[in-house]
Structure 1
């Protein structure tokens, strides 16, 4: 324990010395930002100072005792003092002439450049940034670290990115990825440091697979910030990402598609992908995926479909995808054995069908309706998530077309929806409920068919479900179904159905937002003789009467209908007596 504490103290002292060694250069960098004359010259000087600062930050404390390094430090100190004097003259405009000042700044720039080369040669020759025993990594700041501490740490990592050997680059990238995943401040501060994006872009084209993969992880994280996504695109991130898709490792390809997914969430960047041949590359991945049942391959295909889904928001790219066989390709992927591929393809078909009648026709002609309905077959092995996606895609595909709706009916769509209303998990039951609601809004023919198929008893079960949305959708669907006379008769055949409606409009529960729909259902049932009879004989009729007394307009209308029908019955009874 004593030895560990000693090591920790040594590391802390080393970090302190490193901070002291960088103070003079840091002050000069800060001062240079306030200089107005010769801004381009001072920008170049700042770049060199940043490089020196990064190398100094990477040096272990014991290196300060090295004679060769001490000589370099002394020269740097003298040149920095001289540069400080020039900076003050520029700020005060007290220099004797522009040409002379430019010459002095050029001399300073050459000297700083020579220090960068000397320090880099020393580091590489001595192996200080190798993975040997002498390597030192600046301690990672704690959770309450200041902005300066974080910036210092990230600059140290940047130095290792630039001049470290391969293993050190990888370790630095791993450390960088850990901190940016855990704390967003590191992302924001890193993006302010000049050169870090450029280095990451360079790593994307690295021949070292580990370097490339770790850099891709960094880019994936940075792409998650909308404000930085455009910065990466501006730096030309799309081209290297497409190259990784074409020839990278499996992990590299997956990470690349994740980056492209985030970048193309904004359709403005779609053309950048297209310009680098990305659309063809993504289609090729999907094509290979049709024959690849492996989990990794399926994940990649699903992501590729996601990128394509973002891209086809641009009409020209959508046309290109259609011309390149994207529709039959996606339909084949729905038939694949991998869930990620299936879901990616189904979502792609849904977006393709959106707002384009011609493309919808092509999807239908390629057997899209049949394939999507087959996903819903309870006997098939598709997951609940794939089935939910398939329902949504079918709703998009078949809306506003009698012909497509009839195809749905002939392929058994209603039977599958009814099955999942009765037997499905909660999530798929909700999707089936939405699909039933959609069907009920199409035509009287479908309303009759739903009544004949047995939808009403299943829908009634949802009237007192835990989910408010479920209760609301079920009530609205039943309301549409009972607009058809024969469905009114079906509904009232079961006494419990009428009792439940009257029970659910309990005045004591306040003004339920769903009550108006329930009252509308009851109103529809009063048209039917058997319906009026069941309502009048229900033990919950008092709820309706109480609402009428409370001046609820719909309840008053229902009571009026019931009263007039009762009077007519009495008159008919007297007349026939």
Structure 2
């Protein structure tokens, strides 16, 4: 049996409350009543989730009433009627709150039902207030914005401030909405805790997304700036995507202001860091819009760079990659790789690398469109490309071309060897390191590459790097030389310079016995024993004793080298060293 509810005297005439004047209750009075009720609600320990919902509605309603109190609302019948209804609901809710605090209610189910009813009433009041604003009944010429709490303010104060902003965003005139967005941007910029408050309140995200479709540029751009900050928080990206932010961002890129397009592209760049959002961007025409931006010669660098970045994030999806190719993306990005702007150059080079890597059909198209020639031109010392751009171009060439002998031959014909050697000799430390890594990989690609590198003068540069302070550099140089001296012509050229052999033997005494570098050094020396002049120079070297010491210490590579040197012609010189 459903029990009878306790009588509620306040329902008969809410203005009987001693806190409310009998003739005409004011906005200020109802604001004070709601504030008091919010404070009382924090004392309630039961039905916590339902009271939180009620408190959220009270805060929303209160911020709206404060906005109305700052407007010219005198003698407005609509607002006066709403105030009386709100006071009635507040009085009723106050009674429920006190019974919850005192645990004097007759049943849990009945109280939960009453709380649901009261929450719905507050929701209706908030919607009615919104309708009054929308109808233009209130004049907002004198409206002011609640001051933002100082740093370190409690969460309730921050929520109240954001609630006030929500109200103005929902029902204010254009100027008031713009000011609300400006204040919200200032808040999230100064204190990231406001971002969490925004996410918790919820409805503000939907409002921000809706502003992206506003015909007023200032409102659109302000909303974009706030969304850009929120999108920087990984855990909140899903909330924004769930509120439908992708489609309006793409529309802004298609027809927004220059500033709006730039911010929208930066937002999409953050969203597409998660590959799950790739299809959403594609489904709303984002790929076409981005490619149009990149192909438009009038597009500015600050827009092209993030647009390239988004496409780079999307190119990993095979179906989207194929669509990009069909839309002429390769020729577009080959052209962009010649840009004078560093960020555009780098992004376009990275895109070409990503779209072609591991795909032979795309590689062929890239060659046909002049992509490899374009990348080699970027490396031209006369091109004035930045170090970062040069590094990106070298890495792209390595990833795209080094898996195919035919592509390596194309590189040789385009003069890649000369450019690479230039930076190996003259680049800064970082660029030299990249050039050395690329040269080592190049030496492993084909016989033709080794021959071309030998003819081009790479070996003396590798010998110089053998004396580098960096162990990694020394190993790379030794590895490259080890590969190159496998070619007879290179081996002969290397052995002709006595200093080369001296350097190798001297280093055997400084490198650790089992280091990778020492193994490469022995590999080079073993190759040199393939010619009589090479063997003679090793045996006659003043550093021959280093090999002898290592052989006596049972180092396998040293003993192997001694065996090769122990021909009839040299046996007498090596007597006593080799023991079987």
Query: What's the TM-score, normalizing by structure 2?
Result: 0.78
State the partner residue of 1:240.
248
**1:181-232 deviation line (CA, Å, top 9, x unaligned):** 5655443443223223212212222333233223222222322333222222
Change (3 A) 1:51 1:450: same
State the partner residue of 1:483.
486
How many correspondences in the alignment?
537
State the partner residue of 1:303.
306
Paired with 1:213 and 1:250, the residues of 2 have a C-alpha distance of 10
Residue 455 of structure 1, CA deviation = 0.3
Change (3 A) 1:565 1:298: farther
Residues 64 and 129, structure 2, Cα contact 8 Å, conserved in 1: no
Q: Which has the larger share of helix? A: 1
Paired with 2:119 and 2:515, the residues of 1 have a C-alpha distance of 78
Residue 138 of structure 1, CA deviation = 2.3
Change (3 A) 1:256 1:112: closer
Query: What's the TM-score, normalizing by structure 1?
Result: 0.79
State the secondary structure of the residue aligned to 1:456: helix
**1:375-408 deviation line (CA, Å, top 9, x unaligned):** 1111223333222222222223223322222111
State the partner residue of 2:332.
329
Residues 238 and 260, structure 1, Cα contact 8 Å, conserved in 2: yes
Residues 25 and 80, structure 1, Cα contact 8 Å, conserved in 2: no
Matches within 5 A, 1:31-430: 34=47, 45=54, 48-55=57-64, 77-84=90-97, 92-93=107-108, 95=110, 106-107=120-121, 109-111=123-125, 125=139, 127=141, 129-130=143-144, 135-142=145-152, 151=159, 154-155=162-163, 157-159=165-167, 161-162=169-170, 166=174, 169-170=177-178, 172-178=180-186, 180-181=188-189, 184-289=192-297, 292=298, 297-430=300-433
Change (3 A) 1:197 1:530: farther
Does residue 494 of structure 1 match 2:505?
Answer: no
Residues 507 and 547, structure 1, Cα contact 8 Å, conserved in 2: no
State the secondary structure of the residue aligned to 2:421: helix
Paired with 1:30 and 1:560, the residues of 2 have a C-alpha distance of 92
Residues 166 and 204, structure 2, Cα contact 8 Å, conserved in 1: yes
Residue 414 of structure 1, CA deviation = 0.8
- Larger displacement relative to structure 2 (317-326 or 115-124): 115-124
Residues 157 and 172, structure 1, Cα contact 8 Å, conserved in 2: yes
Residue 517 of structure 1, CA deviation = 3.1
Change (3 A) 1:301 1:524: same
Change (3 A) 1:469 1:180: farther
Residue 33 of structure 1, CA deviation = 9.0
Paired with 1:523 and 1:147, the residues of 2 have a C-alpha distance of 74
Residues 331 and 345, structure 1, Cα contact 8 Å, conserved in 2: yes
State the partner residue of 2:13.
none
State the secondary structure of the residue aligned to 2:385: coil
- Larger displacement relative to structure 2 (298-307 or 160-169): 160-169
State the partner residue of 2:25.
none
Paired with 1:78 and 1:231, the residues of 2 have a C-alpha distance of 36
Paired with 2:57 and 2:374, the residues of 1 have a C-alpha distance of 62
Unaligned runs of 5+ in 1: 1-17, 573-577
Paired with 1:484 and 1:121, the residues of 2 have a C-alpha distance of 87
Residues 253 and 300, structure 1, Cα contact 8 Å, conserved in 2: yes
Change (3 A) 1:246 1:508: closer
- Larger displacement relative to structure 2 (484-493 or 252-261): 484-493
Residue 341 of structure 1, CA deviation = 2.8
**1:26-65 deviation line (CA, Å, top 9, x unaligned):** 66389699368xx7xx89755532412544787999x9xx
State the secondary structure of the residue aligned to 2:214: coil
Residue 253 of structure 1, CA deviation = 1.0
Residues 486 and 527, structure 2, Cα contact 8 Å, conserved in 1: yes
1:441 to 426, 439, 444: 444
Residue 238 of structure 1, CA deviation = 0.7
Tell which structure's C-alpha radius of gyration is larger. Answer: 2
State the secondary structure of the residue aligned to 1:464: coil
Residues 357 and 399, structure 2, Cα contact 8 Å, conserved in 1: yes
Residue 442 of structure 1, CA deviation = 0.7
State the partner residue of 1:452.
455
Change (3 A) 1:105 1:344: closer
Residues 76 and 112, structure 1, Cα contact 8 Å, conserved in 2: no
Paired with 1:178 and 1:464, the residues of 2 have a C-alpha distance of 56
Residues 146 and 164, structure 2, Cα contact 8 Å, conserved in 1: no
Change (3 A) 1:428 1:255: same
Change (3 A) 1:565 1:35: farther
Paired with 1:401 and 1:203, the residues of 2 have a C-alpha distance of 52
State the secondary structure of the residue aligned to 2:261: helix
- Larger displacement relative to structure 2 (167-176 or 341-350): 167-176
For the aligned residues, what is the CA RMSD? Answer: 4.2
**1:271-325 deviation line (CA, Å, top 9, x unaligned):** 1112111111111111213xx3xxx712312322221222222222222222222
Residues 334 and 346, structure 1, Cα contact 8 Å, conserved in 2: yes
